Chain A
Amino acid sequence: MTDTPQVLFKNRRPGETAFLAEYQRSGGYEGLRKAVKMTPAEVRETVKESGLRGRGGAGFPTGLKWTFFPADQLGEKYLVCNGDEMEPGTYKDRELLLADPHQLIEGMLVAAYALQTPVAYVFIRYAYERCAQNLERAIAEARQAGFLGRDILGSGFACEIFVHRSAGRYICGEETALLNALEGLRANPRSKPPFPAVRGLFGKPTTVNNVETLANVQHIIAHGADWFRGLARTESGAGTKLYGLSGHLNQTPCLEAPIGITLRELIQEHGGGVWQGRKMKACLPGGASTPFMTAGQLDVPMDFDTIEKAGSRFGTGGVTVFDETTCMVEATLNLNNFFARESCGWCTPCRDGLPFVSWLLRQIETGKATMDDLQTLRDQLRNITGTSFCALAQGAVGPIESLLRLFGDEVEDHIKRGRCPLKS
């Protein structure tokens, strides 16, 4: 079934972690060896040509992001890897770090060389203690082997990588909140501009990238930009993607497949179809902040532009499926409760707006809402959209907007009947 080239998951075995010996047997650190013989600008250019887009949710082109970074400027500057991974439905970074931590370490070293950052941090969420330990071991091994530390592979380039263990809260994954968290400040987001590339960690130029994004970098250098583009099935896409399946499926694996695989293939072939012989009603294609898609959209290729055209977002590649017995109001209420609780409290549309939205959704779900409440819900969405200080609240709006757009009848049915139509 997986005739897809395995790039990031090639060393993945159930219940095991590949460390240096195994990693090197399959070509590990060839990317770094090659990178340090190139100029940093050549490495950046190759990444730009590869078409790699950020795997942390927003899909920003990585090479382009790196052009904003003053790589040639001397002095303090930082690379930060975002391993907060707390968006419900997303667990790919965890699977990668449990299986093969050197994938990230090598990727970070190549990125650090490209950006000329002598110091890099990996920000790891509280629940990923084993990932943190794997990374610490991988860092020690890489140092021993001369891949990390002073004068890496005789190139004169020096880089240290530190692991920062966090203590909860989804907002820490927002890149500017993450920088505050790393500095030991309360993790509210910062205003942008200035962007981290200008004023980031400790006020110095900083690039923040996702775990999976960085892990792709050394493969791009080792095999070339064209090879990377060729991995994807869509014209504009590039690379493979780690997809994490969850929800009402017979199987819920995390797997590596091309960008551009269809939802149908993911759900039918890799997920074994919807569980209990039921039909699919909807799915979140890329995490809790991505608008729902329906069973009629199964042939949409999984890529940034194609999913966006279909009314949602590619997000993180975590696909959560809901069967026909699911009440979409209740599912949306669960999603919104998450965002409301994880709000950092900094701005009013999010801190006050999201709990109010949860209250309205609960009124609808329990059959107590009126048509006026539905209008209030619409007003609330309008009030939150574009007014929040960071993207957390905007992410919360995604599922609700799609609930009203795709399942409006089901919502109204709750109000008309005075109860949830899906519960007897």
Chain B
Amino acid sequence: MNALLTETQLEEFRTRAAEMPHPRELVIDLLRAIQNNCGWVPDEGVELAGEILGLSPVQVEEVATFYDKIFRQPVGRRVIHVCDSICCWSRGGEQVYGYLQEKLGIVPGGTTADGIFTLLPTCCLGACGEAPAMMIGLTTYGDLTKERINEILAQERQAALSPLPRGEG
């Protein structure tokens, strides 16, 4: 597993926390930074965030567990969030979700055997004009068809396997 935070990040967060009147407001930034490095937020990440912000682990935990885009369990290198809200539903969102499950061989909440993709539902992504849509990492993809999904998955798989720093997700 990668370091929770790089030396530079650690220093930056500590400095900012010391300067801010309400350091607690950094908690989401911190959790997201840790998640970006590790792929998810392990217990040590919760403890570290608490230590930097002067909070108990449970004060961090109650925030971390509230958000569906903070992962407190290991996930694949790329998390696919499929919109299951009304506009995507009206334009084939269920078929997209079904196709992704079939193509990746996993059920919602599952991770592919090679550890690359985790599949999750999400509420509306604000891509209602391009429904059906999904988000992988922080990129939103709309106007999905089977062909487009195949292309996107191939691209994302390759990017996930490349040694370059990956995007958040």
- Chain A residues with a Cβ under 8 A of chain B: 85-91, 93-94, 125-129, 164-170, 181-187, 202, 244-248, 252-254, 284, 288, 318, 320, 322, 326, 331, 334-335, 337-338, 341-342, 344
Contacts and interface: CB of A to CB of B under 8 A. Distances in A.
B28 A167 contact: yes
Contact of A127 (B28, B53, B125): B125
B25 interface: yes
Contact of A247 (B87, B135, B138): B87
A88 B123 contact: yes
B128 interface: yes
A327 to B, nearest CB: 11
B166 interface: no
Contacts, number: 127
B24 A334 contact: no
A187 B124 CA distance: 19
A284 B140 CA distance: 24
B138 A129 contact: yes
Contact of B86 (A127, A166, A288): A288
B124 A89 contact: yes
Contact of B124 (A87, A166, A247, A344): A87
Interface in B41-77: 53, 62-63, 66-70
Interface in B1-29: 21-22, 24-29
B128 A244 contact: yes
Q: Using C-beta atoms within 8 Å of the partner chain, give the interface range for chain B.
A: 35 or more
Given A126-B69, A169-B68, A184-B53, A90 B28 contact: no
17 contacts: A86-B126, A87-B124, A89-B86, A93-B126, A94-B126, A125-B126, A126-B138, A165-B29, A184-B22, A184-B25, A186-B66, A246-B87, A252-B129, A335-B86, A341-B123, A342-B123, A344-B66
B158 interface: no
Contacts of A94: 126
B28 A165 contact: yes
Contacts of B68: 167-169
B32 interface: yes
Nearest to B61: A186
Given A186-B62, A246-B129, A248-B90, A86 B124 contact: yes
Contacts of B99: none
